[in-house]
A and B are shown apart, each in its own frame.
Chain A
Amino acid sequence: MATDLEQARQSIGGLSVESVTETGEGRRDMVVNMGPQHPSTHGVLRVVLDLQGENIVGTDVQIGYLHRGIEKLSEARTYTQVIPLTDRTDYTAAMTGNQGLCVAVERLMELEVPPRGRYIRTMIAELQRLASHLIWLGTHAMDIGAATVFLYCFRERERILDFFEAFSGARLTYSYYRVGGVAGDAPPGILQQIYEFTNYFVDRLAENEELLTGNDIWLARTQGVGIISAEEAVAIGLTGPSLRGSGLAYDIRKAEPYEAYADMDFEIPVFPDGDVFARYRVRIEEMKQSVRIIRQCIEHMPDGPVNVQDSRVTPPKREVAMTHMESMINHFMWNIHSFPTPKGEVYSAIESPKGELGYYIVSDGSNKPYRLRIRPPSFCNLQALPLLVRGQMIADVVACIGSIDIVLGEVDR
């Protein structure tokens, strides 16, 4: 078996290698390399499938095609410079990538973000959750063959990206969060627009749900497929919506509230079945909860600064820097050296759209992390794929990959 897998590993893409035929139980007729170039592996994922007809008898997941060494690169950059790198981990949810790092560094430095900053960050994170789940819904539906939902989802996501553009100037890699706050306050009038968008969004979500939730083929393709029990899910390290689809209500926003989640009134949707359909339902319901959180953030948006008023991490205001010598030097030094962090280590986890996004930072007291480890939810969730596809068919593999919502940028970093 090992040598056959070895042989399969040496081939590329769907290129044909000698098919292996064995006799007896668990015999496989064919080894298929699904990926790294494949329309529905969500990037450069490669799954080596041992097939018996269309049934799967063995799975080996190969990753690393998008490995860019972000953890290593971070060691040569100041904390502010690491923020753009975090954009490039989970690029469908760059805001929460930023957020995870900023929350971790704030915890390391024991900073308290002012209320307005926290509310804006919470709102942005939830918008990002909507955008990320929309990509998930669209691609997941596309994998199962519902191309229309894909286009509808991207239409809605476009509106969210417009908001992000107004906040940060970027549409994919935002780098909007800063240690101690955000890059800038909300543009005037945008909160009202976002509020109106949530009304529109709820209607559109219902439309998408109508296309899928009650659709017989969708049910046949998702119900009872890719089942994982709660015990297995915890043991293999599933987190986020994928875990909640197995019936465990573990959500870091509730368990260890960060940002403004302690003030928010929302529920954690849980579905006990543990199949593809349960994970689908969890994410759909989660989008509705996100809308609730966004509305609460806008309704109770406090006034005041968005950044922590701490000279360690916040540069002097430009007017001050241009008129006072000391401030100018300070401003200059801040831009050159950024800020040092106290010696120590911290592990801080947030609930990203994919699951538990953890940042483990070891600081040696300098302005750069000595070691920055990202605990990527997609990586740990992807580990469950062989469990999910046991005894399923090829068509279910793409459904299972879609249902754990992986992003290869985050798997490989």
Chain B
Amino acid sequence: MEWYYPFIVLAKVVIVLIGVSLAAYINVYFFRKELGRMQSRMGPNRVGPEGLLQSLADAVKMLIKEDTIPADSDRLLFKIGPALLIIPIFVAFAVVPFSNDWSFGQTVLHPVISNTNVGLLIVLALTSMGVYGVVMGGWASNNKYGMMGSLRASAQMISYEVTLGLSVIGVVMLAHSLNLGDIVEGQASGTFATWYIVRQFPAFIIFFAGIMAESARPPFDLPEAESELVAGYHVEYSGARFFIYQTAEWSAMLLWVCVAVILFFGGWLPPFGALSFIPGWLWFIAKCYALIFTIIWVGATWPRIRYDELMTLNWKVFLPIGIANFFIVAAWKTIAASLGVGV
């Protein structure tokens, strides 16, 4: 191990932190502008050219606003709630590979902070920690809407984590690895035909619904359903803490989109071998934004689902499909192995 190894890791951490924050920032702008276009309105267009600085203005506004803490709230939990949500999400980015390896002469640089063998497990484990931040924030606010929002959030997140975990089992079995980089390489064959979205399409649908539910995007935005619960679990938050909740939500969405691209869309792999002159990280970003666009699109089209329907969808539709998918993949692998055919 070279002496400069810790410095490289440190540099990677800084770059990822800044990059994720910047991406969340760009996402907000992209989201607003694109939603505006879909809803036949302008979107932000006042701050900066084409409204580019609107998100910055909002961030500054939120950071300098008064930070109110409601009376009779649990002050400690109220304060640490946002932190508990954002920290696991940022930590989870540590195992996400953003590109194929870069080589500089003899030196090879992995564009991932920690190239661990249980990357996918870490992501799933850390994101399920996020629910504590939501529950604590909503409960500590001493507000009924907040509490109902956090109850909905915990039920929703925990339920969807089950199907989320089930849906990736097929991918893991096909890739023989929990390492996110290996999963991407497992899809490499020169065309998009071997991407897991083709081989695991039902799993992808469940996964996609799962990440929308996990990051509370419409139509699964029940924890903060504006027309029912005013603002849900962060109804009493203002100023910097509210900003942290918002950032965490956007970062969570980004994290899930990254994972989805890695698991199902071949990460940094080009769809055709002929397009491999375009660098991998560009493919990665392009795929991420395509997914984010889809999320915006779904949100602009569909009304909000009801609480009981959400649960029915998860436990009575997604879960059986996920289990069936698991058995089908397992059976297929066994048969293929006994026939001596590679999968």
A residues within 8 Å of B by Cβ? Answer: 14-16, 30, 32, 38-40, 54, 141-148, 151-152, 155, 211-212, 215, 217-218, 220-221, 393-398
Contact = CB atoms under 8 A, between A and B. Distances in A.
Interface string B299-328: 011111111110000000000000000000
A148 B144 contact: no
A138 to B, nearest CB: 11
Contacts of B39: 147-148, 151-152
B227 A144 contact: yes
Given A217-B303, A393-B306, A395-B225, 6 more contacts: A38-B230, A147-B300, A152-B40, A212-B303, A220-B305, A396-B306
Interface of B: 38-41, 72, 142-145, 148, 218-219, 221-222, 225-230, 235, 300-309
A215 B298 CA distance: 12
B228 A151 contact: no
Given A145-B221, A152-B39, A221 B306 contact: yes
A146 B303 contact: yes
A148 to B, nearest CB: 5
A14 B235 contact: yes
A398 B302 contact: no
B227 A30 contact: no
Contacts of B235: 14
Top 4 A-B pairs, shortest CB-CB distance: A145-B304, A40-B227, A146-B303, A145-B303
A192 to B, nearest CB: 25
A225 to B, nearest CB: 9
A155 B40 contact: yes
B227 A145 contact: yes
A14 B228 contact: no
Contact of B228 (A15, A40, A215, A220): A40
A220 B145 contact: no
Contacts of A145: 218-219, 221, 225, 227, 302-305
B230 A14 contact: yes
A54 B227 contact: no
A398 B301 CA distance: 19
Given A39-B226, A146-B303, A221-B303, A151 B41 contact: yes
B152 to A, nearest CB: 8
Contacts of A152: 39-40
B303 A54 contact: no
A32 B230 CA distance: 12
**Most chain A CB atoms below 10 A, which of B41, B143, B148:** B148
A378 to B, nearest CB: 19
A217 B305 contact: yes
A41 B103 CA distance: 60
A306 to B, nearest CB: 36
A146 B148 CA distance: 22
A155 B148 CA distance: 34
